Structure 1
Amino acid sequence: MADTCAMTMAYGGGSFDALSRRLRTPLMQFFMRRTGSQADAEELVQELFLRLLRRKDLFSLQNLDGYVFETASNLIRDKVRRDTARSTDRHDDVSDLDIATDAPSAEQGLESRQRLNRMLAALDSLPARAQTIVILRRFEDMSYAQIARRLGISISAVEKHMVRAMDALKQID
């Protein structure tokens, strides 16, 4: 702020202020016609005035208004180059999107791990043969008849083991 005041004084006690008041509206119109955005126009006007403030010999120029609008044209060209390089016209605003996901929440993940641990504990409490039958049926997708043949037991024995195992697993909920 002190630099701005010093610059204003250096330009003859407020001549920069007079220049900015006189040219602000025409510069806003100039930038609005070229950008179509009030926010972009405001930003460009501010950037232009900053550039002008940095120029120590500003008021010694022959055609000050011409220089100001030439600088404004250069700012527009720079903005177009930046926007093109960044492909800002191809960006979509995703800040307001509510993104749906199939991923479980942290709470759901914790609950699932806890339930799995309870299921494993229930399976561990079963006799070895019942554990084997559950694994063959649920994970190997074998039929009761295939399990009975493989273990050398009757189909009804396989069914009884499965009923006990399912009862034990139902108790975990």
Structure 2
Amino acid sequence: MSKPANRILREAFLEDRRRLLRLSHRFADRDEGEEAVQELWLRIMTVDDEVQIRNPGGYLSRMLINLLRSGFRKTGTRRAVRAEVEAILEGEEGISAERMLGARQTLSLVAQELDALPERTRRIFLMNRVEGMTYRQIAEALSISEQTVHYHMRRAMDRLLPLRKELDHGEA
């Protein structure tokens, strides 16, 4: 009997942690790189045990690079969020309790919708939208067809679209 995929990845991670840190430092500063490696550890805990992994080190490297790339796309957003958090901590005017409450409620609604998705659909959605993996990469990682990935993404988007429309119209 073969080992579960997340166990294989955990063992590979522990063996390759230094190499992964060096890799992360090629694409990000020290803090962001270390944060990405920590995030990678959390992500491998959720890898589907049915995934066939031929090259654990390569798989981890690809996941890490995807995490770093998605972080680079979000850098502008991160800076804005950091500035807003710093303003809150410094007591700057303009950020109301209502705005903070609204943001928490929005996050809660999105989390509820994601939790309501079937496990495989949620996993595929997160692999694409959070980890930055392409449909082809997801299909290869999960040993499914790209058409199946597309089906699950469509399913997730259909579930999330009404919430987005509701939030865009300020009804949430």
Length-normalised TM-score, structure 2: 0.39
Length-normalised TM-score, structure 1: 0.39
Higher relative contact order (CA 8 A, sep 6+): 2
Bigger-Rg structure (1/2): 1
